[in-house]
């Protein structure tokens, strides 16, 4: 029974991975049912039963999520080019659909995104993806590594996690202006609070970029610091790296008590190895570091 369920999930995961990789293609029901090796007469109902979204709705949201990232976090494409990438023949049709979902035009969202409607829109999409997310790990997935001290420039986010997107947007704009590209300067996230504190105002996270060069900035939100070196338990997470909570829970609840190790006095943090939408979402990767004594 368990093996059959795992096989079913693996076939459905193949479909999600295929959609991730081929958002620009014609993702018709026949092709997707073939990827899953299910009859096209039943596949759409199986998909909806598994994920709580129809295939069509899921693909719409996947394309719209990529479009929103392209608008908020990159200026490499015009709004018209983003619209075409999202599968719309005309920018006005894209603008209507975008406004209907997010309450803003694409150009307004690019300048100043309102993240609360965005989070509400993609809640069902992220929930659908999480149904097949890898949430179990084994001790073999963890390595202990001696990590060097890393000087970093830090933009701190303090307060409601719903507004984190705005801080990320400012961080990306600042590092781009400073010439600190992700390919040459590593990206870190340091969590100084739990993911969902009792009061949203207590949420605290540092966005960091590694640099050993002097940083000149007029931005008062940027400060210089370091990620201290030392021994760390490292767990690599591939896919859906927007939620590293299951991996962190494994390290704290399962790995740490059984390892005989003790956590050092520095928060858990991650290094982002690549980014969506530059790579398909299921190929995003991050290393999670638990500092050890």
pLDDT in tens, 261-292: 999 999 999 999 999 988 998 899 999 999 99
| Crossing angle (nearest 10°) for helices 2-21 and 40-51 | 100
> Which pLDDT value is given to residue 108?
94
Partners of 151 in beta bridges: 226
> Which pLDDT value is given to residue 274?
94
Range of the domain at 280: 139-291
Question: Which domain CATH number covers 165?
Answer: 3.20.80.10
| Cα–Cα distance, 273 to 89 (Å, whole number) | 34
Looking at the fold, whether 80 and 148 belong to one and the same domain comes out as no
> Which pLDDT value is given to residue 5?
81
Q: Is the CB of residue 290 less than 8 Å from the CB of residue 268? A: yes
Tell me the average pLDDT of the chain: 91
Looking at the fold, whether 236 and 117 belong to one and the same domain comes out as no
Mean pLDDT of 248-263: 95
Looking at the fold, whether 122 and 151 belong to one and the same domain comes out as no
Q: Is the CB of residue 169 less than 8 Å from the CB of residue 75? A: no
**3-class DSSP state for residue 143?**
strand
> Which pLDDT value is given to residue 119?
87
Looking at the fold, whether 94 and 176 belong to one and the same domain comes out as no
> pLDDT > 90: what percent of the chain?
59
Looking at the fold, whether 144 and 274 belong to one and the same domain comes out as yes
Looking at the fold, whether 160 and 265 belong to one and the same domain comes out as yes
Q: How many domains does the chain have?
A: 2
Q: Is the CB of residue 55 less than 8 Å from the CB of residue 125? A: no
Instruction: Evaluate if pTM is beyond 0.75.
Output: yes
> Which pLDDT value is given to residue 37?
85
| Lowest mean pLDDT segment, chosen from 5-9, 124-128, 257-261 | 5-9
Looking at the fold, whether 8 and 55 belong to one and the same domain comes out as yes
| Cα–Cα distance, 119 to 67 (Å, whole number) | 14
Question: Which domain CATH number covers 53?
Answer: 1.10.10.60
> Which of 225, 119, 117, 221 has the alpha carbon at shortest distance from 171?
221
Distances (CA, A) of 241 to 8, 207, 234: 23, 15, 15
| Cα–Cα distance, 71 to 67 (Å, whole number) | 6
Mean pLDDT of 12-37: 90
Last residue of a domain, one of 130, 163, 195: 130
> Which pLDDT value is given to residue 136?
81
Q: Which residue has the higher pLDDT, 163 or 235?
A: 235
> Which of 83, 144, 139, 148 has the alpha carbon at shortest distance from 109?
83
Mean pLDDT of 233-247: 91
Mean pLDDT of 215-242: 89
User: Which among 30-39, 85-94, 224-233 has the top mean pLDDT?
Assistant: 224-233
> Which pLDDT value is given to residue 134?
67
> Which pLDDT value is given to residue 105?
95
Looking at the fold, whether 70 and 8 belong to one and the same domain comes out as yes
| Cα–Cα distance, 272 to 289 (Å, whole number) | 11
Looking at the fold, whether 232 and 269 belong to one and the same domain comes out as yes
Last residue of a domain, one of 101, 130, 159: 130
> Which pLDDT value is given to residue 129?
87
Q: What is the DSSP letter of 292?
A: B
At 70, list the tokens.
Answer: 């392209």
Give the tens place of pLDDT for each residue, 182-223: 889 999 999 999 888 889 899 999 999 999 888 777 777 899
Peptide bond into 277 cis (omega under 30): yes
Query: Per-residue pLDDT for 131 more than 90?
Result: no
| Lowest mean pLDDT segment, chosen from 62-71, 79-88, 213-222, 240-249 | 213-222
Last residue of a domain, one of 108, 130, 152: 130
Looking at the fold, whether 266 and 200 belong to one and the same domain comes out as yes
| Cα–Cα distance, 33 to 242 (Å, whole number) | 28
Looking at the fold, whether 197 and 277 belong to one and the same domain comes out as yes
Length of the chain, in residues: 293
Looking at the fold, whether 171 and 150 belong to one and the same domain comes out as yes
């Amino acid at each position: 029974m368990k093996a059959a369920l795992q096989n079913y999930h693996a076939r459905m995961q193949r479909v999600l991975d295929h959609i991730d990789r081929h958002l620009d293609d014609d993702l018709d029901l026949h092709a997707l049912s073939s990827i899953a090796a299910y009859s096209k007469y039943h596949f759409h109902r199986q998909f909806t039963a598994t994920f709580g979204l129809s295939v069509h709705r899921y693909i719409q949201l996947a394309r719209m999520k990529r479009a929103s990232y392209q608008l908020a976090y990159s200026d490499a494409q015009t709004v018209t080019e983003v619209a075409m990438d999202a599968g719309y023949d005309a920018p006005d049709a894209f603008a209507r659909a975008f406004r209907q979902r997010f309450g803003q035009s694409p150009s307004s969202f690019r300048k100043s995104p309102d993240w609360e409607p965005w989070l509400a829109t993609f809640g069902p999409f992220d929930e659908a993806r999480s149904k097949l997310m890898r949430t179990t790990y084994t001790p073999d997935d963890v390595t202990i590594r001696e990590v060097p001290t890393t000087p970093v420039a830090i933009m701190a986010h303090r307060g409601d996690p719903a507004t984190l997107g705005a801080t990320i947007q400012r961080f990306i704009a600042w590092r781009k202006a400073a010439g600190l590209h992700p390919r040459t300067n590593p990206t870190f996230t340091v969590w100084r609070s739990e993911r969902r504190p009792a009061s949203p105002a207590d949420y605290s996270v540092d966005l960091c970029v590694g640099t050993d060069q002097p940083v000149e900035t007029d931005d008062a939100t940027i400060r210089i610091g370091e990620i201290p070196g030392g021994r760390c338990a490292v767990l690599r997470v591939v896919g859906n790296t927007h939620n590293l909570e299951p991996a962190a829970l494994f390290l704290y609840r399962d790995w740490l008590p059984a390892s005989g190790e003790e956590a050092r006095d520095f928060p858990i943090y991650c290094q982002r190895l690549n980014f969506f939408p530059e790579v398909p979402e299921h190929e995003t990767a991050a290393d999670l570091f638990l500092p050890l004594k």
